[in-house]
């Protein structure tokens, strides 16, 4: 068995988890490869790491699993590296529970045993792809959560003209527009009023940020529909952010957004259903205000 | 060709439209059948209606089209009568443009000509079905827009326990819960903050009415998922409304909600896309406030 | 010192708290009067209550404090009885923390000692008054949280025409309209999207329930402005609810809503500021989702 | 009589309006002074402007009125120049109706006659003031609409710690926080879900932009309360925008926000009440969707 390790290079806790992980997997004779950036971070942390582990810059083929140690942000970064290679990813949170990094650090050994014993399931997550006409996009043109088109600092508002399957949908006048996957429905899109979409729904969400028109609402479309987007701003430039990795674009630029040809495969424990994560993360059922009203 | 006519029995304009319709279709040698309630209303209006038309109470099989004259409410009522018979429905609005009744009264003749000449397309619309355990539901257990579970007047709040495919989702503490189709996404569900869902998306929306918990959001699920719902209230009773047709239910009652075995077929003119109707109905692109901000 | 006791007549815990309270206050030689309904409930609970306590139906004048044992609903009921008598109310919660019932049951003795020693402050809370033209309103025409005008079960929507200081404001087409005080801003009004208004702000909130128009927003006005409201519904009747006490009204009826001539005086502990209660009740600062995003 | 003219230097229509204005006021023997930037713009437009008019850079004292020709953005700019000088401002819109620029261009002469004849009223509008500790703010530290604290392009989120009158309120984790006046309640604050506040209400609004916590709501406080704000971001910098004029700030910086010592005086026609402008701008009462539901 060959396992890839990715991790948050800002959290010392991630290094400690990685160390425990390494010790545990060594006993199981698992072949461990550590992503270069995280590998360097681990060495800097001065934990005497066994030398038997390899580092890599480009994701090696034929790995069985990738482990992401950190939070949801680290998971997004891991997913970017994994790309279309189909390697299933397990998200371990070193801090608070995440939607993607939903394995608690202290359950690490139990969950790895389950994985080694084939006790897990795979959830396929849709990915968005961005295609540009004039400008290149680096380092990846794929997003697991969302593609956001946003005004730049100096601009007061942008006009985002959206065509869906060639048909004019609307010109959003707003601070921005978020195109999100179901995975992204609980991230940035939710902060601007977007609905929660279960991972199994084949949808994209279009949710404006601070729309200047009051009768605009988040829109749900099938995920096999394609978008063509043009942005106009006074400053002639705007931001494009894929899972938070942002870059400046200049007008005129035509952006094509569609479902990617691959999906990200997330490793889930048997009881880690989406509904359970929702309840834990959003504290459904524990709102203090709720109770009083019903009990008077 | 055989055409069924339904109409709003409160609007005199609907009678005038029906009269024009009858005169026009007579020349085309179309066989016209008028729904009994509307037929009686027409007679009361004292417009000398030709006697050659038939009335019906039960929808006759083998009709080619149904025309609904009124608004979206009249269309919902027509759809209830049409049920699983697959007869395509054309919605004619005698007042303001509707999402379903989207043919203007003054375009009546033009559109009928198009239909007779086969110049139209059919949009399939998902239908919800309600199955109850203890109590019967009349007159129909199907809904084209939404099924709403609501508190009764005397109750201050209800607790709505929802299972999705057998798994516990949440217990909503609210004034109510709306389960809507894409068709219903622009109706009651939208009034409580639900997103717009295009008719081609295979989804249901779960949107609470006045949720007492602030971190509850509208939820989008695939439309082949099944719901089991139980409602608890202080008064031991609650309301169930299918497309606005409401009835009182008593606890304990287990409600099963799923996609119906049939869909409603809506007749659409070539240019009457969902996006066009959205723009017209919600006045996208004409918000007065928008413009100034961009032009300073 | 003379203290009045009100309590929730559905919660056995309220009886236990009342018993502890009675024992404690007896030692302090405080004169205790118990509201008749709660008095009867206490007797039914078979706790051997000392006979020295008096019961009352009409609030006796010259009392020093009123204690409300239950939740926010019990507090609202206590406030209704206290009315314009200016007696300060202390809210004790026997279950979860309330916005009004913000003294935990287990702090009872500590807080009463503080009150006896004059270590507390008084927060004045604005009250709404309803004046009707044709129909009487019972048992009280005053509300501490909100006055809500709501559709009845059988109606699909109502039209609520509102004049402010004689000037036409809007005709809301909705399930209802809530006119709330700052105190009510964290209750029903919040469930329909209303903002939080601090108790010291001299405002009323107008917040529609399920507005059919998308460009309607909650409205904040000075609390010395007066409202004149007329409701139209298909069924010719509608509901009026004052702090949840609802009653059916028939058209035509002109409702006048204004600030009452008195305010409710709430007893607060030194550290029980509104912001602290907000943080505790709405769990500000403990949202699990928040943390991950910032820590990645 | 002495009148100051400000105008939008991007709209040729503004030049045409200014020309009509000049011609009209010349006949009335009114002394006209034109703001330097607009004056230069007018000259560039090659309309033969009479030479009798003066230009100014610093607002001359003892002027009777200021006219702002453009949109609400132009009005905000005019207000910044007018500052504490108490000169009443009339807003003329050369495009669509504004909340501040609410005089239609084609009513120009009629309204000026009314003003000359003293047929108008003055609405006082509260102004916000920003005081910084380390960095200077240019060109003005006052805002008529709102002060917004916003993340910079490269940051994913900021933490905005707010104290109100010295008491800790909340640490907002969001894209930003808007502190708005009643005047600003229909501008940026409304785009992020803030309520409408009538100009006569003595309030400020605190409304977060894309809050990561779902149970945060817009907050209404009295306008004599003072805010102390600290912002933390990963990039150690953030944006501060006063009425859209934005500037980059570096941590650590303590911002003090309070009501300014002066208010802006807006000239209003007799029938131009706030409610009328609301109805016109937000199209209350003309929502197409509304009607159908009620008429079925």
- Domain residues of chain D, as ranges? 2-120+269-288, 127-261
Q: Which residue has the higher pLDDT, A156 or D32?
A: D32
Span C142-180, pLDDT tens digits: 999 999 999 997 777 899 999 999 999 999 999 999 999
Which residue out of A126, A157, A186, A219 would a mutagenesis test of the B interface target, given it has the greatest number of B Cβ atoms within 10 Å? A219
- Residue A105, marked binder: no
Residues in B touching A157 (Cβ below 8 Å): 293-294
When the pLDDT of each residue in chain D is averaged and rounded to a whole number, the result is 90
Task: Report the pLDDT value the prediction gives residue A74, as an integer from 0 to 100.
Answer: 96
Task: Tell me the C-alpha distance between D219 and C197, whole Å.
Answer: 6
Maximum separation of any 2 CA atoms in chain B, in Å: 63
Residues in C touching D282 (Cβ below 8 Å): 215-217
**Stretch A166-195: mean pLDDT:** 97
DSSP B43: H
Answer yes or no: do B196 and A203 touch at CB < 8 A. no
* pLDDT of B103 above 70: yes
Q: Inform me whether the C-beta atom of residue B153 falls under 8 Å from chain C C-beta atoms.
A: yes
Dihedral angle sign, alpha carbons of residues A188, A192, A196, A200? negative
Least confident segment among B76-80, D105-109, D227-231: D105-109
Task: Tell me the C-alpha distance between A187 and A175, whole Å.
Answer: 17
- φ, ψ of residue B212 to 5 degrees: the values are -80, -15
Q: Inform me whether the C-beta atom of residue D52 falls under 8 Å from chain C C-beta atoms.
A: no
The answer to whether A205 and A179 are in contact (CB under 8 A) is yes
Span B111-157, pLDDT tens digits: 999 999 999 999 999 999 999 987 776 678 999 999 999 999 777 78
Cα–Cα separations (whole angstroms), residue B12 to B6, B50, B111? 14, 18, 22
Q: Which residue has the higher pLDDT, C291 or C169?
A: C169
DSSP C128: E
Task: Report the pLDDT value the prediction gives residue C289, as an integer from 0 to 100.
Answer: 40
When the pLDDT of each residue in chain C is averaged and rounded to a whole number, the result is 90
Task: Report the pLDDT value the prediction gives residue A45, as an integer from 0 to 100.
Answer: 81
Q: What subunits touch chain C, counting only 3 or more CB pairs under 8 A?
A: A, B, D
Q: D252: exposed, middle or buried (C-beta count within 10 Å: 0-12, 13-18, 19+)?
A: exposed
Answer yes or no: do C173 and D290 touch at CB < 8 A. yes
- Residue D73, marked binder: yes
Task: Report the pLDDT value the prediction gives residue C148, as an integer from 0 to 100.
Answer: 97
Q: CB-side exposure of D7: number of CA atoms within 13 Å?
A: 30
The fold for domain A2-120+269-288 equals Rossmann fold (3.40.50)
Q: Inform me whether the C-beta atom of residue A178 falls under 8 Å from chain D C-beta atoms.
A: no
- Residue spans of alpha helices (H) in chain C: 12-27, 36-44, 72-82, 108-116, 188-191, 274-281, 288-295
pLDDT confidence tier of residue B52, bands split at 50, 70 and 90: low
Q: For residue C279, how far is the Cα from the chain centroid?
A: 19
Residues in A touching D212 (Cβ below 8 Å): 191
Percent of chain C at pLDDT exceeding 70: 93
Span D240-273, pLDDT tens digits: 999 999 999 998 899 999 999 999 999 999 888 9
Task: Report the pLDDT value the prediction gives residue A43, as an integer from 0 to 100.
Answer: 86
Percent of chain A at pLDDT exceeding 90: 73
Q: C57: exposed, middle or buried (C-beta count within 10 Å: 0-12, 13-18, 19+)?
A: exposed
Q: Which residue has the higher pLDDT, A169 or C50?
A: A169
Span B206-259, pLDDT tens digits: 999 999 999 999 999 999 999 999 999 988 999 999 999 999 999 889 999 999
Q: Inform me whether the C-beta atom of residue A272 falls under 8 Å from chain B C-beta atoms.
A: no
Task: Report the pLDDT value the prediction gives residue D271, as an integer from 0 to 100.
Answer: 85
Distance from CA of D216 to the nearest CA of B (A): 8
Span D214-230, pLDDT tens digits: 999 999 999 999 999 99
Task: Report the pLDDT value the prediction gives residue D32, as an integer from 0 to 100.
Answer: 92
Q: Give catalytic residues of D, as residue numbers.
A: 72
Task: Report the pLDDT value the prediction gives residue D156, as an integer from 0 to 100.
Answer: 77
Q: Inform me whether the C-beta atom of residue C212 falls under 8 Å from chain B C-beta atoms.
A: yes
Q: Which of residues 8 through 27 in chain B touch D, CB cutoff 8 A?
A: 8, 10-11
Q: Which CATH number fits domain C127-260: 3.40.710.10, 3.40.50.720, 1.20.120.1760, 2.60.200.30?
A: 2.60.200.30
**Stretch D12-35: mean pLDDT:** 90
Q: What subunits touch chain A, counting only 3 or more CB pairs under 8 A?
A: B, C, D
Q: Give catalytic residues of B, as residue numbers.
A: 72
* pLDDT of A294 above 70: no
pLDDT confidence tier of residue B49, bands split at 50, 70 and 90: low
* pLDDT of B293 above 50: no
Answer yes or no: do C295 and A72 touch at CB < 8 A. no
CA-nearest residue to D95 within chain B is: B292
Task: Report the pLDDT value the prediction gives residue D287, as an integer from 0 to 100.
Answer: 44
Task: Please name the member of D11, D214, D296 whose beta carbon is closest to the beta carbon of B70.
Answer: D296
Task: Report the pLDDT value the prediction gives residue C294, as an integer from 0 to 100.
Answer: 37
Task: Report the pLDDT value the prediction gives residue C133, as an integer from 0 to 100.
Answer: 85
Task: Please name the member of D153, D174, D188 whose beta carbon is closest to the beta carbon of A246.
Answer: D153
Which residue out of B157, B172, B198 would a mutagenesis test of the A interface target, given it has the greatest number of A Cβ atoms within 10 Å? B198
Give strand ranges (E) for A97-236. Answer: 103-104, 121-132, 142-143, 146-150, 158-164, 167-174, 176-180, 196-197, 203-209, 219-222, 227-233
Percent of chain C at pLDDT exceeding 90: 73
Task: Report the pLDDT value the prediction gives residue C276, as an integer from 0 to 100.
Answer: 92
- Residue D188, marked binder: yes
* pLDDT of A257 above 80: yes
Span A195-249, pLDDT tens digits: 999 999 999 999 999 999 999 999 999 999 999 999 999 889 999 999 999 999 9
Task: Report the pLDDT value the prediction gives residue B47, as an integer from 0 to 100.
Answer: 66
* pLDDT of A194 above 90: yes
pLDDT confidence tier of residue A47, bands split at 50, 70 and 90: low
Q: Collapsing DSSP states into helix, strand and coil, what is residue A56?
A: strand
**Stretch C286-294: mean pLDDT:** 41
Distance from CA of B186 to the nearest CA of A (A): 10
Task: Report the pLDDT value the prediction gives residue B151, as an integer from 0 to 100.
Answer: 94
CATH code that applies to domain A127-261: 2.60.200.30
**Stretch A33-45: mean pLDDT:** 90
Q: Give catalytic residues of C, as residue numbers.
A: 72
Q: Collapsing DSSP states into helix, strand and coil, what is residue B31?
A: strand
* pLDDT of C2 above 70: yes
- Return the top range by mean pLDDT from A220-229, B38-47, D109-118: A220-229
Residues in B touching D71 (Cβ below 8 Å): 292-293, 295-296
- Residue C27, marked binder: no
Task: Please name the member of D96, D280, D296 whose beta carbon is closest to the beta carbon of B291.
Answer: D96
Answer yes or no: do C220 and D201 touch at CB < 8 A. yes
Answer yes or no: do D289 and C202 touch at CB < 8 A. no
Maximum separation of any 2 CA atoms in chain D, in Å: 63
Answer yes or no: do A73 and C292 touch at CB < 8 A. yes
Task: Report the pLDDT value the prediction gives residue B292, as an integer from 0 to 100.
Answer: 38
Span D172-194, pLDDT tens digits: 999 999 999 999 999 999 999 99
The answer to whether D165 and D225 are in contact (CB under 8 A) is yes
Residues in D touching C167 (Cβ below 8 Å): 273, 275
pLDDT confidence tier of residue C295, bands split at 50, 70 and 90: very low
* pLDDT of A89 above 60: yes
Q: Which of residues 217 through 256 in chain A touch B, CB cutoff 8 A?
A: 217-222
């Amino acid at each position: 068995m060959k396992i890839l390790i990715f991790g948050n290079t800002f959290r010392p806790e991630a290094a400690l988890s990685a160390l425990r992980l390494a010790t545990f997997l060594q006993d199981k004779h698992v072949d461990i490869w550590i992503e270069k950036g995280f590998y360097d971070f681990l060495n800097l942390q001065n934990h005497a790491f066994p030398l038997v582990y390899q580092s890599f810059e480009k994701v090696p083929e034929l790995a069985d699993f990738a482990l992401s140690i950190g939070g949801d942000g680290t998971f997004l970064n891991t997913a970017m590296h994994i790309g279309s290679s189909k390697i299933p990813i397990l998200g371990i949170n070193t801090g608070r529970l995440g939607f993607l990094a939903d394995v608690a650090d202290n359950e690490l050994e139990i969950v790895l045993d389950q994985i080694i014993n084939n006790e897990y399931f795979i959830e396929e997550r849709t990915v968005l792809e961005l295609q540009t006409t004039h400008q290149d996009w680096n380092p990846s043109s794929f997003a697991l959560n969302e593609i956001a088109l946003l005004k730049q600092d100096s601009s007061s508002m942008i006009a985002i003209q959206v065509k869906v399957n060639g048909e004019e949908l609307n010109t959003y006048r707003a601070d921005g527009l978020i195109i999100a996957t179901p995975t992204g429905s609980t991230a940035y899109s939710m902060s601007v009023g977007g609905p929660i979409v279960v991972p199994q729904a084949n949808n994209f969400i279009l949710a404006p940020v601070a729309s200047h028109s009051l009768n605009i609402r988040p829109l749900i479309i099938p995920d096999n529909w394609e978008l063509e987007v043009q942005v106009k701003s006074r400053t002639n430039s705007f931001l494009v952010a894929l899972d938070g990795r942002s870059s400046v674009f200049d007008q005129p630029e035509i952006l094509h957004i569609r479902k990617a040809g691959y999906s990200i495969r997330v490793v889930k424990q048997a009881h880690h259903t989406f509904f359970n994560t929702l309840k834990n993360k959003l504290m459904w059922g524990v709102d203090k205000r709720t109770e009083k009203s019903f009990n008077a």
